[in-house]
Structure 1
């Protein structure tokens, strides 16, 4: 069996928190200095000055700090308690230990940044997670999300992944009429030595008046 084939991982959790609790320091060191400036520009172009941003799955706190330094008002969450502690020390803000499946804000944020975080949510749970994120956005607010480019669900190295391509994202959003795609694009991984890995990036906007919801996934 290869690493890319699906297989059960003892102790793996849907949000990856067990993995990140055990590997928090290594993950922090690997990701905290990665330059995400080009992705910030695509997201922030849709936000007003001093906008309220939720960093949903903040990891090392890298992006929370970057947005804070640019004058935005940040709220951060991270499901791994160990990683949340490191993120707090790095960004200088409290980080709630919380899963995206459990958020309950209503029209609180101008923008939500979900960089490489929703990819750990099981596919069957993604429609409801996206609805929760949409409810947390103010009218006209935007959501940025990124997924490893591909199709389907898999487990690798103690974490589960939901991979998406353009068709998969379109299928997913048919069950989430609260959101509409503003732009979608692919990028290479920005970590040194991993440039061969591809990512699907999307900015989605909250509709003023959602269209009727279609049937929940089937996906593909």
Structure 2
């Protein structure tokens, strides 16, 4: 993510965001963990305060957690078993590194034109048969929310095509609607895709 205003919002609201995201009780996370090999390697891409990364580490996974906001990384690093680092989506590197990549409502802050590049890098970083979890808000266009964060909205067909173009095979689709940090409700989609 390279949008400075979005980064500033998260830096200013780190504590509030951590309170909202403080629990990692999520059936999608449970399914993600269950699908991975015991002791497998995971990248939590856009980890925020690290609640999901911590749950993965407690489940015995080896977790690398990245976020572009240093304040978020500092929080994530406090969780046992979480190797937290400051990094942007542009810094996804390497080949066959991870059994799973958890991109939970993070890539929605990337520019639309950058999504194919990021997803191709994710596909390379996954081991053969590795699992990507990606969740994004649904809709069309790019706009800022009430507190200034930039969002790239996608349709289900668009996200499915982006993943397929990156060489990933979509296996699961989940939709929902939740209230975000800005206090408004939004529709979302989560896809599970294998390399």
User: Which residues in structure 2 correspond to 1:90-109 (within 5 Å)?
Assistant: 90-91=79-80, 93-109=82-98
The 2-side partners of 1:47 and 1:34 are apart by 17
Measured at CA, do residues 195 and 82 of structure 1 come closer, stay the same or move farther in structure 2, by a change above 3 Å?
A: closer
- Please, what TM-score do these two structures have when normalized by structure 2? 0.89
Q: Tell me which moved more, 56-65 or 12-21.
A: 12-21
1:86 aligns with 2:75: yes
1:40 aligned onto 2:29: yes
Larger radius of gyration: 1
Q: Tell me the equivalent position of 1:201.
A: 190
Spell out, residue by residue over 1:179-208, the C-alpha distance to the aligned partner (whole angstroms, 9 max, x if none).
12111120232779x7953210001111xx
Please state whether the residue corresponding to 2:77 is helix, strand or coil. helix
Q: Distance in 2 between matches of 1:147 and 1:91?
A: 28
1:29-73 per-position Cα deviation (integer Å, ceiling 9, x unaligned): 22122522x111332343111211111111110001101111111
Q: 1:105 to 1:50 in 2, by over 3 A?
A: same
- List gaps (5 residues or longer) in structure 1: 1-11, 207-220
Are 2:48 and 1:59 equivalent residues in the alignment? yes
1:170 is aligned to 160
Counterpart of 1:27 in structure 2 is: 17
Whole-angstrom distance in 1 between the partners of 2:81 and 2:37: 23
Deviation at 1:104, TM superposition (A): 0.8
Counterpart in 1 of 2:59? 70
> Which deviations, in whole Å up to 9, do the C-alpha atoms of 1:5-42 show, x marking residues without a partner?
xxxxxxx9169322211221221122122522x11133
Contact between 2:32 and 2:133, CA under 8 Å: does it hold in 1? yes
More strand by share: 2
Mapped to 1, the partners of 2:184 and 2:3 lie a distance apart of 27
| Residue segments in structure 2 that go unaligned for 5+ positions in a row | none
Shift of 1:111: 0.4
Between the aligned partners of 2:46 and 2:135, the Cα distance in structure 1 is 12
Task: Answer yes or no: is the 8 Å Cα contact 1:104–1:132 preserved in 2.
Answer: yes
Q: Call closer, same or farther: CA 1:109–1:79 in 2, change over 3 Å.
A: same
- On the 8 A contact 2:101/2:131 being kept in 1, the answer is yes
* 8 Å contact kept, 1:119–1:161: yes
Distance in 2 separating the partners of 1:196 and 1:160:
16
Q: Closer, same or farther in 2 for the Cα pair 1:191/1:66, shift >3 Å?
A: farther
